Amino acid sequence: MIAARVPVIVYVTPPGGRAASAGLFITEAAHIAVMAPNTNIGSAHAVSVGLPGIGGGEPDPVMMDKVTNDAVALIRGMAESRKRNVDWVEKAVRESANVTAKDALELNVIDLIAPDLATLLQQVNGRTVILGSGAEVTLATADVAPHVEGMNFIEDFLHKLSDPTVAAILMLIGINGMIFELASPGAILPGVVGGIALLLALFGLGMVPVNYAGLLFIMLAFILFVADIKMPTHGILTAGGIISLLLGAMILLSSATPYFAINWPAILTAIAATAAFFAFAIGKAARAQRRRVTTGREAMIGSVGVAKTPLGPDGMVYVHGEYWEAVAEDGSLEPGQRVQVVAMNGLRLLVRKV
């Protein structure tokens, strides 16, 4: 904006809006700064975002001083070049000063107050601004038709990914998908979806201040979930995983900055869905372990068949659609009598009368 080859007007709107933090810098960089009534500007003190200490603990005070002094020099230079109040903008950076649109106009922090865009275009018509190249340009905006240039599809998509709530949910989807693929190799789709979701989540989390201890808690939660599926512990590991997942979500994006707040109802719903999925999977695994074996040597024990020849004690029985050599535990059996398999020795069955 400082080096722009055309005049730039920044309009702080709608009423109730604000130009805080980086918004102050954007407004002061404009050739013409305009605010709508009932808006405010200021509060641009440097915070810990992107500085050492973001993962916990206090930021380095020397680094904070460097960042603050650099920000003050930048905004004083911009205000001076636009012939605005350099002392107040410095105060906004050092002390987080904040004023209303009316006060900003009186303090020479902005150039105009306009209730709407049409009024703004009328007010700036005929004003002369000096570009970064030194060229003077006179605005002719009285009869122009505004054209709104919003974000394109890619910009809008990446902007949505930077939402901490979206990034956190994508991470849950991604790890779920990867675990499903590892548990059932060859399913392919869960692995593909999970991998894409996980990479998108990492991109989104890279745009916001993340506490890596929270990330470790989330990883521990899924390790506990998988462990409970592989070796059921009556839900103890799952309970630990749910607690770890909640702690991870709380710590992961624990910034005090309101712009990075997460939507707790959405996150809790996603965590509940994840917990329900693993509880279902663990229940299925437990029932499968309790189910009677239906194949192999173990499946024969307890099976009921029919004696096909006299057993005294050796003979033939018919079990599971097959003829077997058998020995009668009772000593002797008649053909046609129902028998139950008691044991299996090689390919011979030990049976008793039912």
Q: Active-site residue numbers? A: 21, 66
Strand spans (E) along the chain: 9-12, 18-20, 32-35, 40-42, 98-100, 112-113, 128-130, 136-138, 304-307, 314-319, 322-328, 338-345, 348-353
Phi, psi of 343 (to 5 degrees): -155, 170
| Cα–Cα distance, 222 to 60 (Å, whole number) | 34
Q: Are 96 and 45 in contact (CB under 8 A)?
A: yes
| Cα–Cα distance, 209 to 212 (Å, whole number) | 10
| Cα–Cα distance, 27 to 99 (Å, whole number) | 14
CA 140-145-146 angle, 5° bins? 100
Q: Assign residue 264 a region (left: φ > 0; alpha: ψ between -120 and 50; beta: otherwise).
A: alpha
Instruction: Provide the token pair at 54.
Output: 């973001």
Strand spans (E) along 118-164: 128-130, 136-138
Q: How far is CA 143 from the centre of its chain?
A: 46
C-beta contacts of 77-83 below 8 A and 24+ residues apart: 78/2, 78/25, 78/28, 78/29, 79/28, 81/2, 82/28, 82/30, 82/31, 82/33
Candidates 128, 131, 127, 82; CA nearest to 109 is: 82
The total number of residues shown for the chain amounts to 354
Q: Are 50 and 66 in contact (CB under 8 A)?
A: no
